[in-house]
Amino acid sequence: MKTNKTTIQDAFLIEAPAFGDERGKFSENYHQLRYQQLGLTQDFVQDNFSFSQYGTIRGLHFQTGDYAQSKLVRVIQGKIIDVIIDLRKDSASYQQVYQVELSQENNLQLLAPKGVAHGFSALADHTIVYYKCDQFYHPESEAGIHPLDDSLAIDWGVSEQKRILSAKDLKHPTLSEYLERESLA
């Protein structure tokens, strides 16, 4: 197992080994001691998974204040474009966007630190995304950035005609609108 830095401060791609034979494949999703040896010390308290059809775009979500979450994201089945945006004002990568393909084939995991917005697009039918969080979901602390904000230049890998988004995600502010609201708060 090894980690690779991303362009976002404190975000890492993790290469988790997989072992396969004629029966199928085996891989550890998480091993606390191994992750600590890599310098990743999050204390995960909640596991989630989503099931998505091709073209689904989820995000860009985050929680604020004391309920901010780090996430360890992995694809169990299918393929996604995973995206994070650094919203931490004191970060060297503030407002930067990072995207990476995660799939059942490449077996990569993305560790998204507290203070980043997270989202993904499903590039295959029946895509299953599994992720661990180091803080419990708290609806009152939930926030988001509009996933189709042109200023972010995110390539979701899905044509405009095939995109499936929730009404809730389409109501989120653009990044500049969000930052302006925050500066007034």
61 is catalytic: yes
Closest C-alpha among 135, 73, 98, 82 to residue 6: 98
Task: Give the CA count within 13 Å in the CB-facing half-sphere of 169.
Answer: 19
Closest C-alpha among 1, 21, 131, 135 to residue 76: 131
Instruction: Tell me the backbone φ, ψ of residue 161, rounded to 5 degrees.
Output: -70, -25
| Selected catalytic residue, list 35, 61, 146, 172 | 61
Q: What is the per-residue DSSP string for 61-92?
A: EEE-GGG---EEEEEEESEEEEEEEE--TTST
118 is catalytic: no
The two tokens of residue 152 are 């972010």
Contact predicate 89/96, CB 8 Å: no
| Selected catalytic residue, list 35, 98, 131, 178 | 131
Q: Which residues are catalytic?
A: 61, 131
